[in-house]
Amino acid sequence: MSAIILSGRDVSTAVRAEVAERVAAMSRRGRTVGLATVLVGDDAASRVYVRNKHRAAEAAGFLSFDRHLPASASQGDVEAVVAELNADDSVDGMIVQLPLPDGLDGEAAVEKVDPRKDADGLHPFNLGQLVLSRPGPLPATPGGIMRILGHYGIETAGTTAVIVGRSFLVGRPMALLLGAKGVDATVIQAHSRTPDLAGVCHEADILVAAVGRPKMFDERFVKPGATVIDVGINRTDDGLVGDVDFDAVVDVAGAITPVPGGVGPMTIATLLANTVALAEAKDN
């Protein structure tokens, strides 16, 4: 029997509608909500991603600010733009699009963002809030995954969750969210140096694949009936594919996110939700 397809597009539609209602409520009080992006250089994938963010923001009723610097920009140039946006009261949320071109320090640029405008949820202060189980903007991709699990009623309490990948963008915050009180999964953080990685993954009730290797995870990695979350977006000659070999796994898993159309749409939806929440928090 084929797995249930966990459509991020469907969930993101619901999240964006909720965000638009909240933005409209603020507008009736004479309050706008603004999202800014800082893009450095001409990486094609980053340009597309930023363009999609602005389209989604404008569709939800946001003011949208696009700051694009050339690849020749210095670290000081990038941080100066971040400082300008920090001081701009019309900007409620801000994103520094990563990765930055070679020679620039993306982490240092993110640290210059006012944590109260951190739409990506990646500032060290907000990551610290996550570690302490305190409120704050969640990293967008892990936050989006949690919305998918909730939307489809995927049980987490008492399950074993294996997360393959340990980046601060996805893997580490994902482990914190799945292991949090009230979610209550038992979390294994696996990675490229984990012995018998396929065997470890095969024990997972929830498997999150976030390594950036096309179709690495086949049926050997998946426990029958498991929920498989594919974070990978890999450009190949055959188009976009995930880290999971979808065709090999779809008849083994109980539920699976597709690529494209799974986790990707939820990342942008979560950025919007973070931004309107930051605007509401500023008003309160």
Question: Which residues are catalytic, by number?
Answer: 53, 97, 120
Structure token pair of residue 243: 């880290």
Cα 271 to the chain's mean position, in Å? 8
Other CB atoms within 10 A of residue 80 CB: 14
175-185 residues labelled b (16+ CB within 10 A) or e (exposed): bbbbbeeebeb
- Ranges of beta strands (E only) in 93-243 are 93-96, 160-164, 186-190, 206-209, 227-230, 234-236, 239-241
Specify the length of the chain in residues: 284
Three-class SS state of 92: coil
List the alpha helices (DSSP H) in the chain. Answer: 8-28, 44-59, 75-87, 106-111, 124-131, 140-151, 171-178, 197-201, 246-249, 263-283
Residues 6+ apart with CB under 8 A from 198: 220, 221
The whole-angstrom separation of Cα 200 and Cα 119 is 34
